[in-house]
Amino acid sequence: MSVKFKDFLKFDIRAATVTKAIYYNEAKYPAIKLWLDFGKEIGEKKSSAQLTDCYEPSDLIGRQVIALVNIPPRQIGKFMSEVLVLGLVYGNEGVRLIVPDESVANGAKLL
């Protein structure tokens, strides 16, 4: 199945900095709650991400990540996940975050 470029442009994918990260012990699957700073235009958003195989919450604070922001919020247990943090499945080792190779402005858009 091919996707037209105009369809790709519908995805609003942005950079954000993790400001807070804690284990989500109540989740059905091991996860980390993330608070993300997307800059002035978007502000702070939350996400639940299954990253526990590769990351500790303390390792994530201050890191930039890439996330899909124009996705409907999703209730994950008692936590409302507002954006989808993007990562790659790395064999049997879990999910590795997709990150910019250099620091960029929070809210910078993937084109």
Residue 46 lies in a domain: yes
Number of domains in the chain: 1
pLDDT of residue 90: 80
Residue 54 belongs to domain spanning:
11-97
pLDDT of residue 68: 98
Whole-structure pTM value: 0.93
Query: What value, to the nearest 5°, has the Cα angle with vertex 46 and ends 73 and 56?
Result: 130
Instruction: Output the domain CATH number for residue 76.
Output: 2.40.50.140
Q: What is the mean pLDDT of the chain?
A: 95
Residue 30 lies in a domain: yes
The alpha-carbon radius of gyration of the chain (Å, integer) is 14
Grade residue 1 by pLDDT with cuts at 50, 70 and 90: confident
Grade residue 72 by pLDDT with cuts at 50, 70 and 90: very high
pLDDT of residue 37: 98
Grade residue 92 by pLDDT with cuts at 50, 70 and 90: confident
